[in-house]
Amino acid sequence: LQISEPNEFDIMLVIPVARLQLDESDDTGAYYYLTFKRNPKEKCLLKYLDEDGKLSAFKMLQALRAIIKQEVKNIKNVEVTVKRKRAGSPAITLQIKNPPAEISVDIILTLKVQHSWPPSTRDGLKIEQWLGRKVRVDFRNESLYLVAKQNKKEKVLRGNTWRLSFSHIEKAMLNNHGSSKTCCESDGPKCCRKGCLKLLKYLLEQLKMKYTKELEKICSYHVKTAFFHSCVMWPKDTDWHLGDLDHCFQKYLGYFLDCLQKSHLPHFFIPQYNLLSLEDKASSDFLSREINYQLNNRFPIFQG
């Protein structure tokens, strides 16, 4: 879904773990402390426990970072550097200099856990009308993914929280986004769902480049989440007719603006988790004003 130059890539480095105990670290339902159940198979991970016996995301990221830095030295024909650590980021970023363009690759440490989805996800993923009940059941039978993400709400930042990740499910929904199975297949009817998402991602990307400071709290995940909610509100393929891109984009944008104005955008999989909390209201209001300006002036930012 990269719109401009494809110069940013995400790679999930997945470590399978058989059995872990998950304990919520706050009321969002997204962040967890992880501890091993008795006699774990993964003895090699025991050295990453903190003094409370919790699996430390910080320690694991530190070790991974050291390995990557070491390996990068062995790359001869391309100039690769490891970017400086960003506080609270789950990613280790590689900068790859190679004419004609420079690319950055985020390596994200991820645990794949054999565990049923936690209670906070029970009322999420409301895709029955859009993709069907069976698809929802299949998705919920998938493994649980957790990324090494610091929970900023914690009073003392100890680096031992992990955040649920559903990027594998999001990818599947984007790839098979139609209520009919043939939507956007070579011989099937075409829709404008992805076109709408790309437009709003591009709009946000351009605005963030222009107003980096004001919009630092807003990211493309907000746009993607609003998109999935829109797919649920307008579940039929005929709601996203390819020829109606303009109208569909305005509908989706209208919903996103509504979320910004209310400072309320529920996580698609964890409905109790609001992605636009009140402390980020200044960013939400700023973006809302900018989008309204674009909307009322026929999107000058797209004219470029």
Select from 176, 209, 242 the last residue of a domain. 176
Q: Are residues 161 and 12 in the same domain?
A: yes
Query: How many folded domains does the chain comprise?
Result: 2
Residues 153-198: pLDDT tens digits?
Answer: 765 566 789 999 999 999 999 999 999 988 998 888 999 999 999 9
Give, to the nearest 10 degrees, the angle between helix 193-210 and helix 220-233.
Answer: 150
What pLDDT, on a 0 to 100 scale, did the predictor assign at position 84?
83
153, 176, 199 — which closes off a domain? 176
- Classify residue 268 as exposed, middle or buried by CB count within 10 Å of its CB (0-12, 13-18, 19+): buried
Q: Of 108, 143, 142, which Cα lies nearest the Cα of 14?
A: 108
100-151 residue pLDDT tens:
778 888 999 999 998 899 999 999 999 999 999 999 999 999 999 999 987 7
**Structural domain containing residue 59:** 1-176
Q: Do both 277 and 166 map to the same domain?
A: no
In terms of domains, do 212 and 169 share one?
Answer: no
Give the CATH number of the domain where residue 272 resides: 1.10.1410.40
pLDDT at site 89 = 75
Asked if 204 and 167 sit in the same domain, the reply is no
Nearest 5°: CA angle at 44, between 39 and 45? 80
Tell me which residue has tokens 């480049």.
Answer: 209
In this prediction, what percent of the chain has a pLDDT beyond 90? Answer: 69
Q: Does residue 94 register a pLDDT over 80?
A: yes
Same domain, 191 and 127: no
pLDDT of residue 7: 77
- Residue 29 belongs to domain with CATH number: 3.30.460.90
Contact predicate 260/285, CB 8 Å: yes
Q: Is 0.85 topped by the overall pTM?
A: yes
Same domain, 133 and 106: yes
Q: At what angle do helices 220-233 and 167-175 cross, to 10 degrees?
A: 50
- Final residue belonging to a domain, choices 176, 208, 226: 176
